[in-house]
Amino acid sequence: FVKTIAKDEMALAKKLVDDGQGHLFAHWKNGKDAKKIKAQMATLMQLHKSYPLPDGLLSYTKNARDLLAVSKAGKNPLEGWSPSVPQGESLAVGTPEFDDFESLGGPLLSKVGFVLVAGGLGERLGYGGIKVELPTESCTETCYLQYYIETILSIQQKHGVVGKTHLPLAIMVSDDTYEKTNALLKRNKFFGMDKKYVTLMKQEKVAAISDNDGKIAQAEDDPYKIECKPHGHGDVHSLMHSTGTAARWLNAGLEYCVFFQDTNGLGFHTLAASLGVSSKLNLVMNSLAIPRKAKQAVGAVCQLTNGETKEERTINVEYNQLDPLLRATVSPDGDVNDKSTGFSPYPGNINQLLFSLKEYVDNLKETSGVMAEFVNPKYADVAKTVFKKPTRLECMMQDYPMVLKGDDTKRVGFTSVSADMCFSPVKNDTTAGAAAQASGTHPAVAFSGESDQYNAIAKIMRSVGCKLQAGEKKTFNSVTMVTGPKIVVKPGVCCQPGDYKATFAGGDKIKITGGSVLILKGMGKVVFNSLKLNGALVINTGGLKSETVFDNLVIENKGWTEVPAADGPEWVKMRGYTLDKTETAEIICSHHAGKPYKWGEGSVGGTVVEPVEGAEEDPK
């Protein structure tokens, strides 16, 4: 085969044979199938080079053998460790404590780099495209990626930036998501973001393993093809290192970076407050968390103390490992609620992670960002010698505290906020979502993601005194949610809960019925001293220079309602409804020579109203 494959490929093939992978080459026949042999070696080289340890594929198969031996022996990886509640803050929106942390973190917003992990295919959701292209809600049909970028741009425009840089966004993609993510960005001109500040980092797959000896799996129908599988979101740390992204951000003057998931429309309401907690507690890693119900299928953030070495680690313990750990140590009843609170004492991990950038970059230099791996084979026999199908090693981004050293191990904590304010992912298809809701857990479908977004804004508005009626509960695709009032406030108008007080200054003079729709777009400043809304109102607040004060606005029209929809685009079918926009009042604010525009008295039905004078620049 000397003529067919390159020198370095031959060297790798020899090493693999010594590693017990002779089966990968057993079908080769000299002088035949040169093209297929080349393609197979290209895949093996790629797997070899992309694995972030020095011996590449050989390190991978060694790790696989070690972890599979532990799994076969049924050893508990947490043996010897005892859990307790870690340091952190539990906060509620609308309390002085939340406001204090938000004020402390507010000035740090302009020092954050954003990291979106979007390499997952979303198999549980069963959507044909990429998840970040899905609309967050049906009122404005803003997709997730646009929503994230709008948030970053709004923070940048309102809070300024450090030095000469812009607030950057890094997106981890995979073979499954790269092309569509890139095309979505290009088609939409990066949603207004300067493309210089968007970095796409591609994670590579790893080889599937077919037995306890770490044998690399071949595709069933073609021995020249290597079966490959995703390695998990833990790859994001080695990519932040190998692409130089984390170091570049630190050099540009940023101080924090936040990691977030592909479909969570609530993730950023708590960013300033979390930054406040990170700053006050001097944390290197801060997990945004939710109060966790015992046995809920989310991991628990625990402080683990080793009985022998007294070593301490604050880390996520996955829910399936938590119950046995608690039974073996501090709680004979296992994973149960604290009677006084009705919740598990351990905060629930939602995988939104805030890092202090300096320590992060220092640690990446030492560890290259390589996370500890785990393996989860499904065995076909009791002796655990045969797998039902090939398995692979995986790693998770929340396992980062395992690679911390020295005092940094003590600087890990959490910020817990109720889930309705910070976590509503879209992960399940309609059948799984309905089953989840029937069993008492959150459905995590497109309809719930949408309703939770409206309800979170309504909750913030109520916390500043506004009188909002609760909307009707409706059922679509067997999932039931409160559907109103439907309120969308673009981050350019209000980004953090603390911004709402000034916007809805009238407090209880803001009255909105449960079936109403209120949409505030743009980047302008608006102040409502009084608003009565029964219908649909869309206000384009204009650009940064616009300032409009509504003293007494009364809107009464037929508004918008859901109508069941079994057909249409995939994102509509996932919800089971579409919006009938029957009648809308629309106001377009513009800039009035530096003076706030006073709306004064005004009663509007379903017409389009434009305060004239002063052209407004497009916010983007």
Q: Is 61 helix (H, G, I), strand (E, B) or coil?
A: helix
Q: What is the 8-class DSSP label of residue 438?
A: H
Give the Cα separation of 367 and 242 in Å (integer).
11
Helix (H) or strand (E) holding 357: helix 357-367
Q: Which is nearer to ligand UGB, 236 or 468 (CB)?
A: 236
Q: What is the 8-class DSSP label of residue 123?
A: T
Alpha carbon of 299 to those of 71, 377, 413, 606: distances in Å?
20, 20, 15, 48
Q: Is 556 helix (H, G, I), strand (E, B) or coil?
A: strand
CB of 199 to ligand UGB, least distance (A): 14
Q: Which is nearer to ligand UGB, 290 or 555 (CB)?
A: 290
- 409: closest CA among 316, 317, 313? 313
- 390: closest CA among 401, 375, 405? 375
The number of C-alpha atoms within 13 Å of 142 and in the hemisphere containing its C-beta is 23
Q: Taking CB positions, which residue lies at the least distance from ligand UGB?
A: 120
Q: Which is nearer to ligand UGB, 149 or 350 (CB)?
A: 350
Give the Cα separation of 561 and 580 in Å (integer).
5
- Range 370-379 burial, b when 16+ CB lie within 10 A, else e: bbebbbebee
Residue 57's CB: how many other CB atoms inside 10 A? Answer: 25
Structure tokens at 544: 């940064």
Helix (H) or strand (E) holding 460: helix 446-463
Give the Cα separation of 488 and 460 in Å (integer).
12
Structure tokens at 610: 């434009």
CB of 350 to ligand UGB, least distance (A): 5
Q: Which is nearer to ligand UGB, 19 or 204 (CB)?
A: 204
Give the Cα separation of 544 and 532 in Å (integer).
26
**CB-based contact 270:421 (threshold 8 Å):** yes
CB of 299 to ligand UGB, least distance (A): 4
**CB-based contact 315:78 (threshold 8 Å):** no
- 371: closest CA among 43, 49, 67, 111? 67
Give the Cα separation of 139 and 489 in Å (integer).
11
CB of 130 to ligand UGB, least distance (A): 9
Own/partner contacts of 71-76, CB < 8 Å, gap of 24 or more, are: 71/375, 71/376, 71/377, 71/384, 72/212, 72/384, 72/385, 74/384, 76/324, 76/325, 76/328
Q: Which residues contact 96 (CB under 8 A, 6 or more apart)?
A: none
Q: Which is nearer to ligand UGB, 325 or 520 (CB)?
A: 325
CB of 258 to ligand UGB, least distance (A): 13
Q: Which is nearer to ligand UGB, 286 or 548 (CB)?
A: 286
Backbone angles phi, psi at 538, to 5 degrees: -120, 120
CB of 250 to ligand UGB, least distance (A): 23
Q: Which is nearer to ligand UGB, 233 or 411 (CB)?
A: 233
β strands within 477-614, DSSP E: 479-482, 486-489, 510-512, 517-521, 525-528, 531-534, 536-540, 547-550, 552-556, 560-564, 577-581, 585-588, 597-598, 601-604, 608-609
Q: Which is nearer to ligand UGB, 181 or 584 (CB)?
A: 181
Q: Which is nearer to ligand UGB, 205 or 525 (CB)?
A: 205
- Would you tell me which residues interact with ligand UGB (CB under 6 A)? 117-120, 172, 174, 230, 232-233, 261-262, 298-299, 316, 349-351, 396, 425, 427
Amino acid at 463: S
Give the Cα separation of 489 and 602 in Å (integer).
22
CB of 150 to ligand UGB, least distance (A): 18
Q: Which is nearer to ligand UGB, 230 or 619 (CB)?
A: 230
Q: Which is nearer to ligand UGB, 158 or 233 (CB)?
A: 233
DSSP of 291-316: ---TT-SS-EEEEEEETTT--EEEEE
CB of 554 to ligand UGB, least distance (A): 42
Q: Which is nearer to ligand UGB, 436 or 555 (CB)?
A: 436
CB of 203 to ligand UGB, least distance (A): 6
Q: Which is nearer to ligand UGB, 345 or 498 (CB)?
A: 345
Alpha carbon of 245 to those of 252, 300, 346, 352: distances in Å?
11, 29, 33, 19
CB of 427 to ligand UGB, least distance (A): 5
Q: Which is nearer to ligand UGB, 239 or 531 (CB)?
A: 239
Give the Cα separation of 544 and 493 in Å (integer).
9
